[in-house]
Structure 1
Amino acid sequence: MHVPDGFLDAPTSVATGVLAAGAVAVALRKAREELDDRTAPMAGLTAAFVFAVQMVNFPVAAGTSGHLIGGALTALLVGPWTAVLSMTVVLLVQAVLFADGGLTALGTNVTLLGVVAVVVGYGIVRALTAVLPRTRTSLLGAAGIGAFLSVPVAALAFVGLFGLGGVADVPLGTVAGAMTGVHLLIGLGEAAITVAVLGAVLAARPDLVHAAGHLRKDAALDRRPGLQPAGPPDEPPSLVLGRRHRGDPAGRGRPERLRQLLPDGLERAAEDAGFGHTAEDSAVAGSPLADYALGGQDGALSGGAAGVIGVVVTLVLAGAWRWWSVAADVPPPRSATDVAAAPAGP
């Protein structure tokens, strides 16, 4: 659901940019409280994982695909404030290096995927786990519900933004209907992936899961001798890898080899509602990594190389805030004058 340039007018894009910048500024301070030295590497690892998994599209309906948003999953693993930072890094790397999501729409994408999806998904899980039994099963069930609902709510948030600043004269009800239907289906995939990944991490290292803090004394989550990490779920054979092209959902004007790829939920909704033609190419559409293809070359080798570069960049940037926070917490060295002026101890 990466919003391209052109769907929203300039004032709306600026407003979401300001909102996103404010959320990131607050998250930079609050995230220090969520991770310690032992769990801090999870921020970069989780962001890199979300970036990698978002390159994989899964079909949800005839002619339509979806991909993981990851807001709920990231918040459950590393905490909501750290999740805002991790998702922002993912979206920044995608927009700047891979032309995935518009540059002027970056604030919109951070607001929808890095704030709304995180807050809704994590908030629902917290509300449910407060009343459900304190078990791993309850946590996984709540995670599935939170992840599922985070997708259509983020889609409806886009509908609200489109109502405020959409550049096309399309009835808001038409946009809402197109966005809601397909993103309810995508939400099912979001829930399945979230539960599978969270369950695997809980089985292997429950002490690294932020949302499992209230369960860590539960015997069901104790690490037992011989307990083996759960393996990754089998990959469906029909996954569509990479190349989530923005704008022109039908593929008109693109090489024939790209037209067979399924548009994602937002692209399909834009096409069905009648505003897909307003999408504009990203300013970095000609970059060497655009469309997740190294040097514009087709093939698994090119896509794999571009993906590896993206994962590495995301990992480094997502972990950088921790280095900054540690440096910010270290008091400046005291001068000899300060030491001499300090009151003597008892």
Structure 2
Amino acid sequence: MHMADALVAPAVAGTMFACSAAAAVYSVKQVKLDIDTKKVPVMGVMGAFVFAAQMINFTIPGTGSSGHLCGGMMLSALLGPWGGFLTMIGVLLIQGLLFADGGLLALGCNIWNMAFYGCFLGALLIWKPMMKGGMSKVKIAAASILGCVLTLQLGAFSVCLETYVSGITELPFGIFVGTMQPIHLAIGFVEGLITAAVLVFVYEARPELLFGSTEKEQEEGRFSFRHTLAVLAAAAVLTGGLLSLAASSNPDGLEWSIEKVAGGAELEADGGIYEAAGSIQETTSLLPDYGLKGSESALGTSVSGIAGAAAVVALCAGLCHIFKLFRKCSEQE
């Protein structure tokens, strides 16, 4: 559901940048207040996992469309809404800069649509209330599916609203909404199942890593913290380096909806700001469209998956250093 620059007017893009930036500043303040020693490495590992998982587009049967994990709900269930939101920003930055996935002008929109709803609303309005009184596999599965479905519906509606306010006449609001919502309902359900599987594993392996876990639950883990983290890291490498090769070639829900409404997935926008954003992205995208430049080799997909996951880890580590979270962790120890 990564929006391209052509879908948003500069004024809308600027507004959404401001909204996303405000949420990011607030998240930094909250993370610095509430950081748990063990959450810092989890940010990098789970950010890498979400990046890799987003590369796998799964087919939506009978539609000709595909979908992929957003990851906001998953990250917030592990890191809390603030840590999850900052980690999602890292994922989206790497995707936009290194792989030209989503426009740079539309980055504020993509952060809001794909990260804000899943991390803030998903964690605070769905996950936290449902985990009151203790966690269980059934509760985790129900919260994952409900959270992913509802927050992805909000994200899809925001895409329609942002394009409507931007004056994208090729996408009439009512028809676009009527196309976007049903397909993203199916995508959200599949994402919910994937999210549930990952979170149930963490619940069995190391429940203390889940947002809102109780002291009793924190004593029931089957694996050590390092073992759990190693499994998640290995899953990220396997997903990005190997499983990404099996991704569906069908257009994702947004591209599919645009094709249905406008008759083609490519929309063009004229103006200096669009050209400037495109020029920057062309320079920074070392592996455009998750492949080697000038080559359609499957090797490019595997390299992109592993390199992108590593870049997310590096970015998260750099941000933690900038915000002095490592120092805070040392003080806690």
- How far did 1:66 drift? 0.4
Partner of residue 100, structure 1: 101
Instruction: Evaluate the alpha carbon distance shift between residue 166 and residue 303 of structure 1 in structure 2; reply closer, same or farther with a 3 A threshold.
Output: same
CA distance in structure 1 between the aligned counterparts of 2:223 and 2:84, rounded to whole angstroms: 31
CA distance in structure 2 between the aligned counterparts of 1:302 and 1:169, rounded to whole angstroms: 34
**The one of 312, 315, 322 aligned to 1:314:** 312
- How far did 1:308 drift? 1.4
SS at match of 1:210: coil
8 Å CA contact 1:95–1:102 kept in 2: the answer is: yes
Partner of residue 4, structure 1: 4
- How far did 1:119 drift? 2.0
Partner of residue 267, structure 2: 278
8 Å CA contact 1:100–1:291 kept in 2: the answer is: yes
Which AA in structure 2 matches 1:5? D
8 Å CA contact 1:294–1:302 kept in 2: the answer is: yes
Instruction: Evaluate the alpha carbon distance shift between residue 69 and residue 134 of structure 1 in structure 2; reply closer, same or farther with a 3 A threshold.
Output: closer
Which AA in structure 1 matches 2:216? K
Alignment partner of 1:37 is 2:26: no
Partner of residue 23, structure 2: 23
CA distance in structure 2 between the aligned counterparts of 1:151 and 1:59, rounded to whole angstroms: 17
Aligned length: 305
- How far did 1:240 drift? 6.8
SS at match of 1:167: coil
Partner of residue 207, structure 1: 208
Partner of residue 344, structure 1: none
Deviation string 1:318-343 (CA, Å, 9 cap, x unpaired) is: 1222222337978xxxxxxxxxxxxx
**Unpaired segments ≥5 residues, structure 1:** 244-259, 331-346
Q: TM-score normalized by structure 1?
A: 0.79
- How far did 1:298 drift? 1.6
Deviation string 1:170-223 (CA, Å, 9 cap, x unpaired) is: 431101111101100101111011001111111111122224x23x4149x713
CA distance in structure 1 between the aligned counterparts of 2:48 and 2:298, rounded to whole angstroms: 19
SS at match of 2:306: helix
51-60 or 302-311: bigger deviation:
302-311
SS at match of 2:324: helix
- How far did 1:139 drift? 2.8
Q: Which of 1 and 2 has greater Rg?
A: 1
Deviation string 1:88-130 (CA, Å, 9 cap, x unpaired) is: 1110110011000001111110111121232232121223333
Higher helix share: 2
Deviation string 1:252-290 (CA, Å, 9 cap, x unpaired) is: xxxxxxxx9210000011111217442569443474300
Partner of residue 86, structure 1: 87
Instruction: Evaluate the alpha carbon distance shift between residue 58 and residue 97 of structure 1 in structure 2; reply closer, same or farther with a 3 A threshold.
Output: same
SS at match of 1:79: helix
CA distance in structure 2 between the aligned counterparts of 1:50 and 1:183, rounded to whole angstroms: 18
SS at match of 1:295: coil
CA distance in structure 1 between the aligned counterparts of 2:171 and 2:139, rounded to whole angstroms: 42
Which AA in structure 1 matches 2:187? I
CA distance in structure 2 between the aligned counterparts of 1:169 and 1:309, rounded to whole angstroms: 36
Instruction: Evaluate the alpha carbon distance shift between residue 269 and residue 201 of structure 1 in structure 2; reply closer, same or farther with a 3 A threshold.
Output: same
8 Å CA contact 2:17–2:109 kept in 1: the answer is: yes
- How far did 1:299 drift? 2.3
SS at match of 2:6: coil
Instruction: Evaluate the alpha carbon distance shift between residue 129 and residue 224 of structure 1 in structure 2; reply closer, same or farther with a 3 A threshold.
Output: closer
CA distance in structure 2 between the aligned counterparts of 1:223 and 1:242, rounded to whole angstroms: 33
SS at match of 2:323: helix
CA distance in structure 2 between the aligned counterparts of 1:37 and 1:327, rounded to whole angstroms: 9
Deviation string 1:213-242 (CA, Å, 9 cap, x unpaired) is: 23x4149x713599x97998xx9xxx8748
- How far did 1:41 drift? 0.6
1:145-160 alignment, distance < 5 Å: 145-160=146-161
Partner of residue 340, structure 1: none
Which AA in structure 2 matches 1:205? R
SS at match of 1:278: coil
Partner of residue 142, structure 1: 143
SS at match of 1:186: helix
8 Å CA contact 2:100–2:289 kept in 1: the answer is: yes
CA distance in structure 2 between the aligned counterparts of 1:113 and 1:76, rounded to whole angstroms: 15
Alignment partner of 1:58 is 2:47: no
